[in-house]
Amino acid sequence: MSTNGIARIKYYKGQMLTVRDFDEQQEYHRQKQQHLLRRFPFGIIGGLKVTCAPKKDDDPNDFDGFLIEKGLAVNQEGNEIVVSEIGFKVPLTEFDPEKPYLSLVYFEDEGFVGNELSDSNQKHNRIREGFDRDRMWNAAPNIASSITVALVTLAKGKDTGAKCEDFVVKHEDDEGGPRIRIDARVVDTEQIARGAVTEEKIKNGAVGTNQLADDAVTLAKIADNAVGTAQLVDDAVTLAKIADNAVGTNQIVDDAVTLAKIADNAVGTTQLVDDAVTLAKIADNAVGTNQIVDDAVTEAKIADNAVGTTQLVDDAVTLAKIADNAVGTNQIVDDAVTEAKIADNAVGTTQLVDDAVTLAKIADNAVGTNQIVDDAVTEAKIADNAVGTNQLVDHAVTQAKIADNAVGTDHIQDGAVNLAKLANEVKEKFAPRTGWVRLPFLPLKFAGDPEFEHSTTSSTSPATTGATGIMAIPAPVGATKVINIRIAGAENATGIEFILYRGGANGEVELSRQTIVGLPSPFDKQFPVDAKIDASNDNLSLQIKAAGTSKIGYLAVEFA
Protein backbone atom coordinates (compact mmCIF):
# COMPACT_ATOMS: atom_id res chain seq x y z
CA MET A 1 0.00 0.00 0.00
CA SER A 2 1.33 3.44 -0.98
CA THR A 3 2.17 5.85 1.85
CA ASN A 4 2.12 8.96 -0.38
CA GLY A 5 -0.61 11.59 -0.10
CA ILE A 6 -3.28 11.81 2.58
CA ALA A 7 -5.88 9.24 3.62
CA ARG A 8 -9.58 9.45 4.43
CA ILE A 9 -11.83 7.01 6.30
CA LYS A 10 -13.47 4.20 4.30
CA TYR A 11 -16.76 3.21 5.95
CA TYR A 12 -18.53 -0.17 5.88
CA LYS A 13 -21.47 -1.81 7.66
CA GLY A 14 -20.76 -2.98 11.20
CA GLN A 15 -17.55 -0.94 11.44
CA MET A 16 -16.49 0.13 14.92
CA LEU A 17 -15.34 3.75 14.98
CA THR A 18 -13.11 5.21 17.67
CA VAL A 19 -12.04 8.71 18.57
CA ARG A 20 -8.95 8.25 16.41
CA ASP A 21 -11.11 7.60 13.33
CA PHE A 22 -13.09 10.80 13.75
CA ASP A 23 -9.93 12.82 14.46
CA GLU A 24 -8.30 11.50 11.29
CA GLN A 25 -11.42 12.27 9.25
CA GLN A 26 -11.34 15.90 10.45
CA GLU A 27 -7.61 16.15 9.85
CA TYR A 28 -8.08 14.91 6.29
CA HIS A 29 -10.41 17.80 5.44
CA ARG A 30 -8.19 20.33 7.25
CA GLN A 31 -5.15 19.28 5.24
CA LYS A 32 -7.07 19.44 1.97
CA GLN A 33 -8.18 23.00 2.70
CA GLN A 34 -4.70 24.06 3.84
CA HIS A 35 -3.11 22.67 0.67
CA LEU A 36 -5.53 24.72 -1.40
CA LEU A 37 -5.10 27.95 0.55
CA ARG A 38 -1.27 27.68 0.52
CA ARG A 39 -1.50 27.82 -3.26
CA PHE A 40 -2.26 31.55 -2.93
CA PRO A 41 -0.30 34.35 -1.21
CA PHE A 42 -1.12 34.81 2.49
CA GLY A 43 -2.75 37.95 3.81
CA ILE A 44 -6.10 39.64 4.32
CA ILE A 45 -8.90 38.39 2.08
CA GLY A 46 -11.52 40.88 3.24
CA GLY A 47 -12.55 43.17 6.12
CA LEU A 48 -10.44 43.40 9.32
CA LYS A 49 -10.35 47.21 9.23
CA VAL A 50 -9.30 48.78 12.56
CA THR A 51 -10.77 51.89 14.23
CA CYS A 52 -10.51 53.37 17.69
CA ALA A 53 -13.91 53.01 19.37
CA PRO A 54 -14.75 54.88 22.60
CA LYS A 55 -16.62 53.19 25.46
CA LYS A 56 -20.39 52.95 25.07
CA ASP A 57 -22.16 54.85 27.87
CA ASP A 58 -25.04 52.35 28.05
CA ASP A 59 -22.73 49.31 28.42
CA PRO A 60 -20.96 49.05 31.80
CA ASN A 61 -18.73 46.25 30.47
CA ASP A 62 -17.49 48.24 27.50
CA PHE A 63 -14.15 50.12 27.32
CA ASP A 64 -12.10 52.37 25.05
CA GLY A 65 -10.28 50.20 22.55
CA PHE A 66 -9.13 49.36 19.05
CA LEU A 67 -12.02 47.62 17.24
CA ILE A 68 -11.09 45.02 14.61
CA GLU A 69 -14.06 44.72 12.26
CA LYS A 70 -15.33 41.38 10.95
CA GLY A 71 -13.22 39.80 8.24
CA LEU A 72 -11.10 36.91 7.02
CA ALA A 73 -7.37 36.29 6.58
CA VAL A 74 -5.15 33.33 5.66
CA ASN A 75 -1.71 32.75 7.21
CA GLN A 76 1.36 31.17 5.62
CA GLU A 77 0.32 27.65 6.67
CA GLY A 78 -3.09 27.98 4.98
CA ASN A 79 -5.06 28.42 8.22
CA GLU A 80 -8.09 30.70 8.15
CA ILE A 81 -8.29 33.48 10.75
CA VAL A 82 -11.86 34.67 11.24
CA VAL A 83 -13.18 37.66 13.17
CA SER A 84 -16.89 37.28 13.85
CA GLU A 85 -19.77 39.61 12.92
CA ILE A 86 -19.50 41.73 16.09
CA GLY A 87 -15.75 42.27 15.66
CA PHE A 88 -13.14 42.17 18.42
CA LYS A 89 -12.07 45.04 20.70
CA VAL A 90 -8.55 45.40 22.11
CA PRO A 91 -8.22 47.71 25.19
CA LEU A 92 -6.20 50.92 24.75
CA THR A 93 -4.32 50.03 27.90
CA GLU A 94 -2.56 47.16 26.11
CA PHE A 95 -0.81 49.51 23.67
CA ASP A 96 3.00 49.34 23.78
CA PRO A 97 4.96 51.91 21.72
CA GLU A 98 7.71 49.30 21.28
CA LYS A 99 5.20 46.90 19.66
CA PRO A 100 2.87 49.13 17.60
CA TYR A 101 1.73 46.53 15.01
CA LEU A 102 -1.68 45.05 15.84
CA SER A 103 -1.74 41.51 14.43
CA LEU A 104 -3.69 38.24 14.42
CA VAL A 105 -2.03 34.86 15.04
CA TYR A 106 -3.89 31.62 14.36
CA PHE A 107 -4.66 29.71 17.58
CA GLU A 108 -6.67 26.67 18.67
CA ASP A 109 -8.07 25.98 22.14
CA GLU A 110 -10.31 23.31 23.59
CA GLY A 111 -13.72 23.73 25.19
CA PHE A 112 -16.85 21.93 26.28
CA VAL A 113 -20.37 21.95 24.87
CA GLY A 114 -23.16 19.90 26.49
CA ASN A 115 -25.11 19.16 29.70
CA GLU A 116 -22.86 19.99 32.64
CA LEU A 117 -24.94 17.75 34.97
CA SER A 118 -24.67 14.60 32.88
CA ASP A 119 -21.19 13.50 33.94
CA SER A 120 -18.91 14.48 36.77
CA ASN A 121 -15.87 13.49 34.66
CA GLN A 122 -16.41 15.94 31.82
CA LYS A 123 -13.90 16.21 28.95
CA HIS A 124 -13.40 18.88 26.31
CA ASN A 125 -15.48 18.02 23.26
CA ARG A 126 -14.80 21.03 20.99
CA ILE A 127 -11.71 22.65 19.38
CA ARG A 128 -12.25 26.36 18.71
CA GLU A 129 -10.25 27.95 15.86
CA GLY A 130 -9.49 31.62 16.26
CA PHE A 131 -6.58 33.92 17.09
CA ASP A 132 -4.21 34.13 20.07
CA ARG A 133 -5.49 36.79 22.46
CA ASP A 134 -2.07 37.07 24.12
CA ARG A 135 0.02 37.59 20.96
CA MET A 136 -1.66 40.56 19.27
CA TRP A 137 1.15 43.15 19.37
CA ASN A 138 4.43 42.89 17.44
CA ALA A 139 7.49 45.05 16.87
CA ALA A 140 7.31 44.53 13.08
CA PRO A 141 4.51 43.70 10.63
CA ASN A 142 3.66 40.15 9.55
CA ILE A 143 6.27 38.36 11.69
CA ALA A 144 6.29 34.57 11.25
CA SER A 145 2.69 33.43 10.83
CA SER A 146 1.06 36.65 12.11
CA ILE A 147 -1.25 38.74 9.90
CA THR A 148 -0.90 42.46 10.69
CA VAL A 149 -4.10 44.52 10.45
CA ALA A 150 -2.98 48.01 11.56
CA LEU A 151 -0.15 50.24 12.79
CA VAL A 152 -1.06 52.17 15.95
CA THR A 153 0.97 55.23 16.96
CA LEU A 154 0.56 58.01 19.47
CA ALA A 155 -0.84 61.23 18.14
CA LYS A 156 1.57 64.08 17.56
CA GLY A 157 2.62 65.65 20.87
CA LYS A 158 1.39 62.72 22.97
CA ASP A 159 3.70 60.68 25.23
CA THR A 160 0.97 58.38 26.52
CA GLY A 161 -2.57 57.59 25.56
CA ALA A 162 -5.78 57.04 27.47
CA LYS A 163 -8.46 58.03 24.94
CA CYS A 164 -9.05 57.48 21.25
CA GLU A 165 -7.96 61.00 20.32
CA ASP A 166 -4.50 60.16 21.72
CA PHE A 167 -3.88 57.54 19.00
CA VAL A 168 -3.53 57.32 15.22
CA VAL A 169 -4.56 54.09 13.48
CA LYS A 170 -2.88 53.51 10.11
CA HIS A 171 -3.51 50.88 7.47
CA GLU A 172 -0.60 52.09 5.31
CA ASP A 173 2.79 53.47 6.29
CA ASP A 174 2.97 56.92 4.68
CA GLU A 175 6.61 57.43 5.70
CA GLY A 176 8.20 54.77 3.48
CA GLY A 177 8.17 51.96 6.03
CA PRO A 178 7.30 48.30 5.45
CA ARG A 179 3.89 47.25 4.26
CA ILE A 180 1.36 47.04 7.10
CA ARG A 181 -1.53 45.13 5.56
CA ILE A 182 -0.88 42.45 2.96
CA ASP A 183 -3.82 41.62 0.75
CA ALA A 184 -3.96 38.02 -0.43
CA ARG A 185 -3.52 37.47 -4.21
CA VAL A 186 -2.27 41.07 -4.83
CA VAL A 187 0.92 41.54 -6.87
CA ASP A 188 2.82 44.84 -6.87
CA THR A 189 5.04 46.33 -9.58
CA GLU A 190 8.22 44.78 -8.15
CA GLN A 191 6.74 41.29 -8.56
CA ILE A 192 6.27 41.73 -12.35
CA ALA A 193 9.18 40.83 -14.65
CA ARG A 194 9.92 42.96 -17.69
CA GLY A 195 7.93 41.81 -20.71
CA ALA A 196 5.61 39.75 -18.53
CA VAL A 197 2.47 41.79 -19.29
CA THR A 198 1.22 40.02 -22.43
CA GLU A 199 -2.26 40.25 -23.95
CA GLU A 200 -3.41 37.40 -21.69
CA LYS A 201 -2.16 39.30 -18.59
CA ILE A 202 -4.16 42.48 -19.24
CA LYS A 203 -7.59 42.49 -17.67
CA ASN A 204 -10.42 43.20 -20.11
CA GLY A 205 -11.15 46.94 -20.19
CA ALA A 206 -7.99 47.78 -18.18
CA VAL A 207 -6.41 50.20 -20.67
CA GLY A 208 -8.33 53.44 -21.20
CA THR A 209 -7.61 56.89 -22.61
CA ASN A 210 -5.93 58.12 -19.41
CA GLN A 211 -3.40 55.25 -19.45
CA LEU A 212 -2.16 56.14 -22.96
CA ALA A 213 0.00 59.17 -23.75
CA ASP A 214 -1.08 61.05 -26.87
CA ASP A 215 0.40 59.47 -30.02
CA ALA A 216 2.07 56.79 -27.86
CA VAL A 217 0.55 53.87 -29.78
CA THR A 218 2.62 53.70 -32.97
CA LEU A 219 2.61 50.88 -35.46
CA ALA A 220 5.91 49.56 -34.07
CA LYS A 221 4.48 49.36 -30.53
CA ILE A 222 1.55 47.12 -31.44
CA ALA A 223 2.21 43.42 -31.96
CA ASP A 224 0.24 41.73 -34.70
CA ASN A 225 -3.29 40.87 -33.46
CA ALA A 226 -2.41 42.29 -30.00
CA VAL A 227 -5.48 44.50 -29.60
CA GLY A 228 -8.92 42.90 -29.26
CA THR A 229 -12.30 44.25 -28.17
CA ALA A 230 -11.85 43.14 -24.56
CA GLN A 231 -8.57 45.08 -24.17
CA LEU A 232 -10.12 48.44 -25.10
CA VAL A 233 -12.21 50.55 -22.76
CA ASP A 234 -15.25 51.94 -24.57
CA ASP A 235 -14.38 55.20 -26.41
CA ALA A 236 -10.70 54.86 -25.35
CA VAL A 237 -9.30 55.16 -28.91
CA THR A 238 -9.49 58.90 -29.60
CA LEU A 239 -7.92 60.66 -32.59
CA ALA A 240 -5.08 62.04 -30.42
CA LYS A 241 -4.12 58.52 -29.25
CA ILE A 242 -3.52 57.16 -32.76
CA ALA A 243 -0.35 58.14 -34.58
CA ASP A 244 -0.68 58.66 -38.32
CA ASN A 245 -0.73 55.32 -40.16
CA ALA A 246 -0.38 53.47 -36.82
CA VAL A 247 -3.16 50.96 -37.35
CA GLY A 248 -2.81 48.31 -40.06
CA THR A 249 -4.70 45.11 -40.78
CA ASN A 250 -2.30 42.93 -38.74
CA GLN A 251 -2.71 44.99 -35.58
CA ILE A 252 -6.48 44.53 -35.39
CA VAL A 253 -8.06 41.27 -34.25
CA ASP A 254 -10.97 40.35 -36.51
CA ASP A 255 -14.22 42.00 -35.32
CA ALA A 256 -12.35 43.82 -32.50
CA VAL A 257 -13.34 47.35 -33.55
CA THR A 258 -16.92 47.69 -32.27
CA LEU A 259 -18.93 50.91 -32.29
CA ALA A 260 -18.48 51.38 -28.52
CA LYS A 261 -14.66 51.24 -28.82
CA ILE A 262 -14.34 54.14 -31.30
CA ALA A 263 -14.69 57.70 -29.99
CA ASP A 264 -16.65 60.09 -32.20
CA ASN A 265 -14.50 61.36 -35.11
CA ALA A 266 -11.53 59.29 -33.84
CA VAL A 267 -10.54 57.73 -37.18
CA GLY A 268 -9.36 59.95 -40.05
CA THR A 269 -7.68 59.26 -43.36
CA THR A 270 -4.13 59.61 -41.99
CA GLN A 271 -4.71 57.07 -39.20
CA LEU A 272 -5.61 54.27 -41.61
CA VAL A 273 -3.06 52.37 -43.67
CA ASP A 274 -4.37 52.00 -47.22
CA ASP A 275 -6.58 48.88 -47.53
CA ALA A 276 -6.14 48.11 -43.78
CA VAL A 277 -9.87 48.07 -42.99
CA THR A 278 -10.99 44.73 -44.43
CA LEU A 279 -14.45 43.23 -43.99
CA ALA A 280 -13.19 40.83 -41.27
CA LYS A 281 -11.77 43.72 -39.19
CA ILE A 282 -15.06 45.60 -38.84
CA ALA A 283 -17.60 44.24 -36.34
CA ASP A 284 -21.22 44.33 -37.43
CA ASN A 285 -22.67 47.87 -37.07
CA ALA A 286 -19.31 49.14 -35.72
CA VAL A 287 -19.01 52.26 -37.90
CA GLY A 288 -21.57 55.06 -37.56
CA THR A 289 -21.70 58.63 -38.86
CA ASN A 290 -19.97 60.10 -35.77
CA GLN A 291 -16.99 57.70 -36.01
CA ILE A 292 -16.03 58.85 -39.55
CA VAL A 293 -14.33 62.20 -40.18
CA ASP A 294 -15.96 63.92 -43.16
CA ASP A 295 -14.37 62.76 -46.46
CA ALA A 296 -11.98 60.41 -44.55
CA VAL A 297 -13.16 57.28 -46.35
CA THR A 298 -11.48 57.58 -49.74
CA GLU A 299 -11.43 54.82 -52.33
CA ALA A 300 -7.83 53.90 -51.41
CA LYS A 301 -8.79 53.34 -47.74
CA ILE A 302 -11.48 50.75 -48.49
CA ALA A 303 -10.35 47.25 -49.44
CA ASP A 304 -12.35 45.62 -52.22
CA ASN A 305 -15.62 44.19 -50.85
CA ALA A 306 -14.73 45.41 -47.30
CA VAL A 307 -18.03 47.15 -46.54
CA GLY A 308 -21.18 45.01 -46.30
CA THR A 309 -24.68 45.68 -44.98
CA THR A 310 -23.87 44.52 -41.43
CA GLN A 311 -20.81 46.81 -41.17
CA LEU A 312 -22.88 49.97 -41.72
CA VAL A 313 -25.12 51.47 -39.05
CA ASP A 314 -28.44 52.48 -40.61
CA ASP A 315 -28.20 55.98 -42.19
CA ALA A 316 -24.45 56.19 -41.31
CA VAL A 317 -23.30 56.92 -44.87
CA THR A 318 -24.25 60.57 -45.36
CA LEU A 319 -23.27 62.67 -48.36
CA ALA A 320 -20.54 64.44 -46.34
CA LYS A 321 -18.89 61.12 -45.37
CA ILE A 322 -18.29 59.96 -48.95
CA ALA A 323 -15.41 61.55 -50.88
CA ASP A 324 -16.15 62.26 -54.55
CA ASN A 325 -15.83 59.07 -56.62
CA ALA A 326 -14.81 57.11 -53.48
CA VAL A 327 -17.28 54.26 -53.94
CA GLY A 328 -16.86 51.98 -56.95
CA THR A 329 -18.25 48.56 -57.81
CA ASN A 330 -15.39 46.71 -56.05
CA GLN A 331 -15.95 48.52 -52.74
CA ILE A 332 -19.57 47.43 -52.43
CA VAL A 333 -20.49 43.88 -51.42
CA ASP A 334 -23.36 42.57 -53.52
CA ASP A 335 -26.75 43.60 -52.04
CA ALA A 336 -24.97 45.59 -49.26
CA VAL A 337 -26.58 48.95 -50.08
CA THR A 338 -30.08 48.58 -48.62
CA GLU A 339 -32.51 51.46 -48.23
CA ALA A 340 -31.84 51.66 -44.46
CA LYS A 341 -28.07 52.10 -45.05
CA ILE A 342 -28.41 55.19 -47.27
CA ALA A 343 -29.18 58.50 -45.59
CA ASP A 344 -31.72 60.67 -47.40
CA ASN A 345 -30.08 62.49 -50.35
CA ALA A 346 -26.70 60.86 -49.53
CA VAL A 347 -25.88 59.69 -53.07
CA GLY A 348 -25.26 62.30 -55.77
CA THR A 349 -23.69 62.14 -59.21
CA THR A 350 -20.14 62.84 -57.94
CA GLN A 351 -20.31 60.01 -55.37
CA LEU A 352 -20.92 57.36 -58.02
CA VAL A 353 -18.20 56.03 -60.31
CA ASP A 354 -19.57 55.66 -63.83
CA ASP A 355 -21.28 52.26 -64.26
CA ALA A 356 -20.62 51.39 -60.55
CA VAL A 357 -24.27 50.71 -59.74
CA THR A 358 -24.84 47.27 -61.24
CA LEU A 359 -27.91 45.13 -60.61
CA ALA A 360 -26.01 42.91 -58.14
CA LYS A 361 -25.04 45.94 -56.00
CA ILE A 362 -28.60 47.13 -55.37
CA ALA A 363 -30.66 45.22 -52.79
CA ASP A 364 -34.35 44.74 -53.56
CA ASN A 365 -36.32 47.94 -52.84
CA ALA A 366 -33.09 49.69 -51.69
CA VAL A 367 -33.53 52.92 -53.68
CA GLY A 368 -36.39 55.29 -52.83
CA THR A 369 -37.11 58.91 -53.76
CA ASN A 370 -35.34 60.30 -50.65
CA GLN A 371 -32.09 58.45 -51.43
CA ILE A 372 -31.66 60.03 -54.89
CA VAL A 373 -30.50 63.64 -55.33
CA ASP A 374 -32.55 65.34 -58.06
CA ASP A 375 -31.00 64.75 -61.52
CA ALA A 376 -28.23 62.58 -59.99
CA VAL A 377 -29.05 59.48 -62.06
CA THR A 378 -27.54 60.22 -65.45
CA GLU A 379 -27.26 57.69 -68.24
CA ALA A 380 -23.54 57.20 -67.58
CA LYS A 381 -24.19 56.21 -63.96
CA ILE A 382 -26.55 53.33 -64.80
CA ALA A 383 -25.06 50.08 -66.08
CA ASP A 384 -27.08 48.35 -68.79
CA ASN A 385 -29.99 46.35 -67.29
CA ALA A 386 -28.97 47.47 -63.75
CA VAL A 387 -32.43 48.59 -62.58
CA GLY A 388 -35.21 46.01 -62.30
CA THR A 389 -38.64 46.01 -60.66
CA ASN A 390 -37.31 44.75 -57.30
CA GLN A 391 -34.70 47.51 -57.07
CA LEU A 392 -37.26 50.33 -57.28
CA VAL A 393 -39.48 51.34 -54.38
CA ASP A 394 -43.01 51.99 -55.65
CA HIS A 395 -43.40 55.62 -56.87
CA ALA A 396 -39.66 56.29 -56.21
CA VAL A 397 -38.77 57.38 -59.76
CA THR A 398 -40.30 60.85 -60.07
CA GLN A 399 -39.69 63.17 -63.01
CA ALA A 400 -37.25 65.30 -60.98
CA LYS A 401 -35.03 62.26 -60.24
CA ILE A 402 -34.39 61.41 -63.90
CA ALA A 403 -32.01 63.58 -65.91
CA ASP A 404 -33.08 64.37 -69.45
CA ASN A 405 -32.51 61.43 -71.78
CA ALA A 406 -31.06 59.37 -68.86
CA VAL A 407 -33.14 56.21 -69.36
CA GLY A 408 -32.89 54.31 -72.60
CA THR A 409 -34.24 50.94 -73.68
CA ASP A 410 -31.04 49.16 -72.64
CA HIS A 411 -31.39 50.39 -69.03
CA ILE A 412 -34.84 48.93 -68.46
CA GLN A 413 -35.24 45.20 -67.88
CA ASP A 414 -38.01 43.47 -69.81
CA GLY A 415 -41.22 43.53 -67.77
CA ALA A 416 -39.75 45.89 -65.14
CA VAL A 417 -42.31 48.68 -65.60
CA ASN A 418 -45.45 47.14 -64.10
CA LEU A 419 -48.65 48.81 -62.93
CA ALA A 420 -47.24 49.54 -59.44
CA LYS A 421 -44.29 51.44 -60.93
CA LEU A 422 -46.49 53.88 -62.85
CA ALA A 423 -47.37 57.26 -61.36
CA ASN A 424 -51.04 57.91 -60.56
CA GLU A 425 -51.58 60.20 -63.55
CA VAL A 426 -50.42 57.39 -65.85
CA LYS A 427 -52.51 54.77 -64.08
CA GLU A 428 -55.66 56.84 -64.63
CA LYS A 429 -55.28 56.36 -68.39
CA PHE A 430 -55.34 52.62 -67.90
CA ALA A 431 -57.98 52.42 -65.15
CA PRO A 432 -59.58 48.93 -64.97
CA ARG A 433 -63.16 48.32 -66.16
CA THR A 434 -65.64 47.01 -63.57
CA GLY A 435 -69.34 46.09 -63.52
CA TRP A 436 -71.44 43.49 -65.34
CA VAL A 437 -70.28 41.46 -68.36
CA ARG A 438 -73.20 39.73 -70.20
CA LEU A 439 -72.47 36.71 -72.38
CA PRO A 440 -74.63 34.40 -74.55
CA PHE A 441 -74.64 30.81 -73.39
CA LEU A 442 -72.36 29.06 -75.89
CA PRO A 443 -70.53 26.32 -73.97
CA LEU A 444 -68.08 23.71 -75.27
CA LYS A 445 -69.30 20.15 -74.70
CA PHE A 446 -67.36 17.49 -72.80
CA ALA A 447 -66.48 14.35 -74.75
CA GLY A 448 -69.08 11.63 -74.26
CA ASP A 449 -71.66 13.95 -72.60
CA PRO A 450 -74.84 15.35 -74.23
CA GLU A 451 -74.51 18.83 -75.70
CA PHE A 452 -76.44 21.88 -74.52
CA GLU A 453 -78.81 23.56 -76.95
CA HIS A 454 -78.63 27.33 -77.04
CA SER A 455 -81.96 28.98 -76.24
CA THR A 456 -83.46 32.16 -74.85
CA THR A 457 -86.07 32.62 -72.20
CA SER A 458 -88.79 32.59 -74.95
CA SER A 459 -87.45 29.57 -76.88
CA THR A 460 -89.72 26.54 -77.41
CA SER A 461 -87.06 24.21 -78.85
CA PRO A 462 -86.55 20.84 -77.07
CA ALA A 463 -84.30 20.93 -73.99
CA THR A 464 -81.26 18.72 -73.56
CA THR A 465 -81.24 16.10 -70.78
CA GLY A 466 -78.05 15.68 -68.66
CA ALA A 467 -75.92 18.00 -70.78
CA THR A 468 -72.46 19.22 -69.57
CA GLY A 469 -70.41 22.10 -70.95
CA ILE A 470 -67.76 24.74 -70.13
CA MET A 471 -67.23 28.26 -71.46
CA ALA A 472 -64.59 30.99 -71.03
CA ILE A 473 -65.38 34.16 -69.05
CA PRO A 474 -63.18 37.14 -70.11
CA ALA A 475 -62.26 39.32 -67.08
CA PRO A 476 -61.82 43.09 -67.62
CA VAL A 477 -58.31 44.57 -67.30
CA GLY A 478 -57.48 45.27 -63.67
CA ALA A 479 -60.48 43.43 -62.17
CA THR A 480 -59.63 41.80 -58.82
CA LYS A 481 -62.91 40.20 -57.67
CA VAL A 482 -66.02 38.38 -58.98
CA ILE A 483 -69.08 39.73 -57.11
CA ASN A 484 -72.14 37.96 -58.60
CA ILE A 485 -73.16 35.49 -61.33
CA ARG A 486 -76.56 35.65 -63.02
CA ILE A 487 -78.09 32.82 -65.13
CA ALA A 488 -81.35 32.97 -67.09
CA GLY A 489 -83.18 30.38 -69.19
CA ALA A 490 -86.52 28.90 -70.32
CA GLU A 491 -86.59 25.66 -68.33
CA ASN A 492 -84.96 23.99 -65.30
CA ALA A 493 -86.71 20.68 -64.71
CA THR A 494 -84.42 18.97 -62.19
CA GLY A 495 -81.48 21.20 -61.37
CA ILE A 496 -78.33 22.88 -62.70
CA GLU A 497 -74.85 22.88 -61.07
CA PHE A 498 -72.24 25.41 -62.13
CA ILE A 499 -68.56 25.80 -61.00
CA LEU A 500 -66.45 28.97 -61.52
CA TYR A 501 -62.71 28.34 -62.07
CA ARG A 502 -59.62 30.51 -62.41
CA GLY A 503 -57.86 29.19 -65.49
CA GLY A 504 -58.79 27.65 -68.83
CA ALA A 505 -60.79 24.60 -69.82
CA ASN A 506 -59.06 22.35 -67.28
CA GLY A 507 -59.78 24.72 -64.36
CA GLU A 508 -56.79 25.54 -62.12
CA VAL A 509 -58.46 26.94 -58.95
CA GLU A 510 -62.12 26.55 -58.01
CA LEU A 511 -63.61 29.92 -56.99
CA SER A 512 -67.31 29.10 -56.45
CA ARG A 513 -69.79 26.20 -56.78
CA GLN A 514 -73.61 26.77 -56.97
CA THR A 515 -76.73 24.61 -57.65
CA ILE A 516 -80.05 25.80 -59.13
CA VAL A 517 -83.04 23.68 -58.05
CA GLY A 518 -86.76 24.31 -57.58
CA LEU A 519 -86.94 27.37 -59.81
CA PRO A 520 -90.04 28.09 -61.93
CA SER A 521 -89.78 28.15 -65.69
CA PRO A 522 -88.68 30.44 -67.20
CA PHE A 523 -85.99 31.33 -64.56
CA ASP A 524 -83.61 34.26 -63.92
CA LYS A 525 -81.40 33.82 -60.82
CA GLN A 526 -78.51 35.88 -59.37
CA PHE A 527 -75.98 34.24 -57.00
CA PRO A 528 -73.33 35.96 -54.79
CA VAL A 529 -69.77 34.73 -55.38
CA ASP A 530 -67.32 37.22 -53.74
CA ALA A 531 -64.18 35.48 -55.13
CA LYS A 532 -60.80 37.22 -55.50
CA ILE A 533 -59.00 36.96 -58.84
CA ASP A 534 -55.55 37.98 -60.08
CA ALA A 535 -55.59 41.33 -61.86
CA SER A 536 -52.88 40.04 -64.21
CA ASN A 537 -54.81 36.79 -65.01
CA ASP A 538 -57.88 37.47 -67.21
CA ASN A 539 -58.66 33.79 -67.84
CA LEU A 540 -61.79 32.44 -66.04
CA SER A 541 -64.05 29.51 -66.98
CA LEU A 542 -67.56 28.37 -66.00
CA GLN A 543 -68.55 24.68 -66.03
CA ILE A 544 -72.31 23.86 -66.13
CA LYS A 545 -74.00 20.45 -65.75
CA ALA A 546 -77.77 19.87 -66.05
CA ALA A 547 -79.26 17.05 -63.98
CA GLY A 548 -82.33 16.82 -66.19
CA THR A 549 -83.94 18.83 -68.95
CA SER A 550 -82.75 22.45 -68.97
CA LYS A 551 -82.80 25.41 -71.33
CA ILE A 552 -80.27 28.26 -70.67
CA GLY A 553 -80.37 31.51 -72.59
CA TYR A 554 -77.56 33.74 -71.23
CA LEU A 555 -75.33 34.42 -68.20
CA ALA A 556 -73.75 37.58 -66.75
CA VAL A 557 -70.80 38.12 -64.36
CA GLU A 558 -70.27 41.19 -62.14
CA PHE A 559 -66.62 42.25 -61.62
CA ALA A 560 -64.94 44.72 -59.22
pLDDT tens by residue, 14-30: 989 898 988 888 888 88
pTM for the whole structure: 0.35
Higher per-residue confidence, 445 vs 25: 25
Find out whether 207 and 232 touch, Cβ atoms under 8 Å.
Answer: yes
Residue 543 has pLDDT above 80, yes or no: yes
Cα–Cα distance between 221 and 241 in angstroms, integer?
A: 13
Exposed/middle/buried for residue 113 (C-beta within 10 Å: 0-12, 13-18, 19+): exposed
DSSP state of 478: T
pLDDT tens by residue, 205-235: 777 777 777 777 677 777 777 777 777 778 7
Phi-psi region of 215 (alpha: psi -120 to 50; beta: other; left: phi over 0): left
Q: What is the pLDDT of residue 558?
A: 92
Which residues 6+ apart lie within 8 Å of 559 measured at CB? 433, 434, 435, 436, 437, 475, 476, 479, 481, 482, 483
Residue 457 has pLDDT above 50, yes or no: no
426-448: average pLDDT? 72
Across-strand partners of 527? Answer: 485
Find out whether 70 and 47 touch, Cβ atoms under 8 Å.
Answer: yes
**What length is written for the chain?**
560
pLDDT tens by residue, 95-147: 999 999 999 999 988 877 766 555 566 777 788 888 998 899 999 999 888 99
Residue 195 identity: G
pLDDT tens by residue, 294-346: 887 777 887 788 777 887 788 877 777 777 877 777 877 788 777 788 778 77
Q: Smallest Cα–Cα separation from 307: which of 274, 340, 271, 278?
A: 278
Residue 460 has pLDDT above 50, yes or no: no
Backbone φ and ψ of 372, nearest 5°: -110, 120
3-state SS, 38-62, equals CCCCCEEEEECCEEEECCCCCCCCC
Distance of CA 9 to the CA centre of its chain: 53
Residue ranges with strand state E in 260-394: none
Distance of CA 551 to the CA centre of its chain: 71
Reported as half-sphere exposure (CB side, CA atoms, 13 A), residue 317 has a value of: 26
Q: Smallest Cα–Cα separation from 484: which of 417, 435, 424?
A: 435
H or E stretch covering 25: helix 19-37
Find out whether 308 and 336 touch, Cβ atoms under 8 Å.
Answer: yes
Q: What is the pLDDT of residue 201?
A: 72
Q: Is the peptide bond before 520 cis (omega within 30 degrees of 0)?
A: no
Compute the 3-state secondary structure of the chain and give helix, strand, coil in percent, each to the nearest 5: 20, 30, 50
- Per-residue b or e along 33-68, where b marks 16 or more CB atoms closer than 10 Å to that residue's CB: ebeebeeeebbbbeebbbebbebeeeeeeeebbbbb
Q: What is the pLDDT of residue 505?
A: 57
| pLDDT confidence bin for 284, thresholds 50/70/90 | confident
CA angle 226, 232, 236 (to 5 degrees): 125
DSSP state of 140: S
Tell me the average pLDDT of the chain. Answer: 79
272-297: average pLDDT? 79
| pLDDT confidence bin for 537, thresholds 50/70/90 | low
Phi-psi region of 335 (alpha: psi -120 to 50; beta: other; left: phi over 0): left
| pLDDT confidence bin for 458, thresholds 50/70/90 | very low
- Per-residue b or e along 319-356, where b marks 16 or more CB atoms closer than 10 Å to that residue's CB: bebbbeebbbbebbbeebbbbebbbeebbbeebbbeeb
Find out whether 557 and 436 touch, Cβ atoms under 8 Å.
Answer: yes
Exposed/middle/buried for residue 418 (C-beta within 10 Å: 0-12, 13-18, 19+): exposed
What domains, with CATH codes, occur in the chain?
38-170 (no CATH), 199-333 (no CATH), 351-428 (no CATH), 435-559 (2.60.120.260)
Higher per-residue confidence, 276 vs 429: 276
Cα–Cα distance between 441 and 455 in angstroms, integer?
A: 8
175-183: average pLDDT? 79
265-285: average pLDDT? 79
Q: What is the pLDDT of residue 63?
A: 94
Backbone CA torsion sign across 135, 140, 141, 142: negative
SS3 533: coil
350-358: average pLDDT? 76
382-411: average pLDDT? 75
Q: What is the pLDDT of residue 47?
A: 93
Residue 277 has pLDDT above 70, yes or no: yes
Higher per-residue confidence, 39 vs 136: 136
Q: What is the pLDDT of residue 150?
A: 94
Cα–Cα distance between 183 and 44 in angstroms, integer?
A: 5
| pLDDT confidence bin for 92, thresholds 50/70/90 | very high
